[in-house]
Amino acid sequence: MPRTARDVVFVDGVRTPFGKAGPKGIYHETRADDLVVKCIRELLRRNPDLPPERIDEVAIAATTQIGDQGLTLGRTAGILAGLPTTVPGYSIDRMCAGAMTAVTTTSGSIAFGAYDVVVAGGVEHMGRHPMGEGVDPNPRFVSEKLVDQSALFMGMTAENLHDRYPHITKRRADEYAVRSQEKAAKAYADGKIQADLVPISVRRTNEEAMGSPQPGGRGEETGWGLATADEPMRPGTTLEQLANLKTPFRAHGRVTAGNAAGLNDGATASLLAAEDVARELGLPVKMRLVSYAFAGVEPEVMGVGPIPSTEKALAKAGLSIGDIGLFEVNEAFAVQVLALLDHYGIADDDPRVNQYGGAIAFGHPLASSGVRLMTQLARQFEEQPHVRYGLTTMCVGFGMGGTVIWENPHWEGK
């Protein structure tokens, strides 16, 4: 039978508050898969008209797929969330773009007609599973000079990017970081973020309270708390404070903890559907998928990845950068955002870019972040019906970029 591609829509998206990785972080005693489960359950609670048995797939990404982030997470999290056992699931790894890839992969299947409704998201518990834990890079990468050794360390690739674009100075990166913190604080004050956060109950121990965990110990439980806001945010950050931070990746370097995202824990999940099915079930239509693209670049400068992926996605959509009214760019490092903006002649403080702030403030739990970008863009679309197109984009470890272009269903233009 002849097939016709169907329109794919973003129905809803939620996330946990993001935490700081490590013994003092809010999720130190919380399992990664439980964070995903809470997100899936929240999607079902927020969309009661969706029969759970109508979900055709659960795709969950994680960069480090071991321990409580392993065991085919999409399947196990779906069962733990109470979905019918008839709903299948699987796991995805594209490092930082894991959740983004979960969205694009399942969206392609919806457009093809294989699925009607899916759950797509990601999780990263960097406190339990640091990036690179348990991996064994092939020695040929370095011995045969396929890549420079710096390609294996994301902070060093950001320093390499500063070398490639010397006009992007440390001060300029710090200025961008301060604006990210300011915009995030304002977004919280205006209630723009909280509506899509899933409160998480967290267990606390006496070691966390003292800030001195014993090796191998879990500490004595002291009670429970409720995580309702992003832990990494530093409102009130000043340029003077950032100027004095250490540059851990290179002596006298330009990348610091202040102009980069930290090590974080958190999870995201989204509902995607064929537009006709969403209308049939009475589900909201928050964004309409236009195009997407992934691209590879030299691993040593992975931060430039969003430039070619955005060019590809725009070409596939028949659009130009001038057609894009809103940008959600993942802020793994300030320098990689600035490189993208410079490429397209966009000012550092352009109001279309990261209106609510970005990962420098909220945090970047690797594989989960793609859906955070989408959820924030969906909110902005709802508030700004004069904008027709927006994009979500991010750099990806080991030399890649990913971009997804969306259309605003609330657009009031002609």
Say yes or no to pLDDT of 347 above 90.
Answer: yes
pLDDT(57) > 80: yes
395 and 370 within one domain: yes
Q: What percent of the chain has pLDDT over 70?
A: 95
Phi and psi dihedrals of 345, rounded to 5?
70, 35
- Answer yes or no: is 304 within a domain: yes
Structural domain contains residue 255 = no
* Residue 221 domain-assigned (yes or no): yes
**CA 124, 128, 130, 133 torsion-angle sign:** negative
Q: How many domains does the chain have?
A: 2
Residue 256 lies in a domain: no
187/200 same-domain check:
no
pLDDT of residue 218: 45
Chain mean pLDDT for the chain: 94
> What is the full DSSP assignment across 64-116?
S-SGGG-S-HHHHHHHHTT--TTS-EEEE-BTBTHHHHHHHHHHHHHHHTS-S
**Structure confidence by residue, pLDDT tens digits, 269-307:** 999 999 999 999 999 999 999 999 999 999 999 999 999
- Three-state DSSP at 344 gives coil
For residues 339-350, average pLDDT: 98
Does residue 248 form part of some domain? no
Instruction: Clarify whether residues 203 and 301 are in a common domain.
Output: no
Q: What is the pLDDT of residues 18-34, one digit of tens each?
A: 999 999 999 999 999 99
Q: Print the domain residue range for 42.
A: 1-130+196-229+263-285
The verdict on 108 and 162 lying in the same domain is: no
Task: Tell me if 185 is assigned to some domain.
Answer: yes
Specify whether 180 is located in the same domain as 297. Answer: yes
Is 0.85 surpassed by the pTM of this model?
A: yes
Q: Which residues participate in catalysis according to the annotation? A: 96, 364, 395
pLDDT score, position 209: 43
CATH code for the domain in which residue 143 is found: 3.40.47.10
78 and 209 belong to one structural domain = yes
How far is 152 from 137, CA to CA, in rounded Å? 9
Nearest to 255 by CA among 172, 136, 347, 140: 172
On whether both 179 and 89 belong to a single domain, the answer is no
Supply the pLDDT for residue 108: 97
pLDDT of residue 223: 83
pLDDT, tens digit (0-9, with 9 covering 90-100), for 225-239? 999 999 999 999 999
* Tens of pLDDT, residues 350-394: 999 999 999 999 999 999 999 999 999 999 999 999 999 999 999
| Same domain membership, residue 179 and residue 201 | no
Distance CA 367, CA 348 (A): 26
In a domain, 168, yes or no: yes
Do 77 and 10 share a domain, yes or no?
yes
Asked if residues 206 and 220 have their Cβ atoms less than 8 Å apart, the reply is: yes
pLDDT at 106 over 70: yes
Q: Are residues 172 and 203 in the same domain?
A: no
Residues 122 and 145 in one domain: no
- Mark whether 1 and 148 lie in a shared domain: no
Residue 212 predicted with pLDDT over 50? no
Q: Is residue 87 one of the residues assigned to a domain?
A: yes
- Six-digit token pair at 80? 């733990």
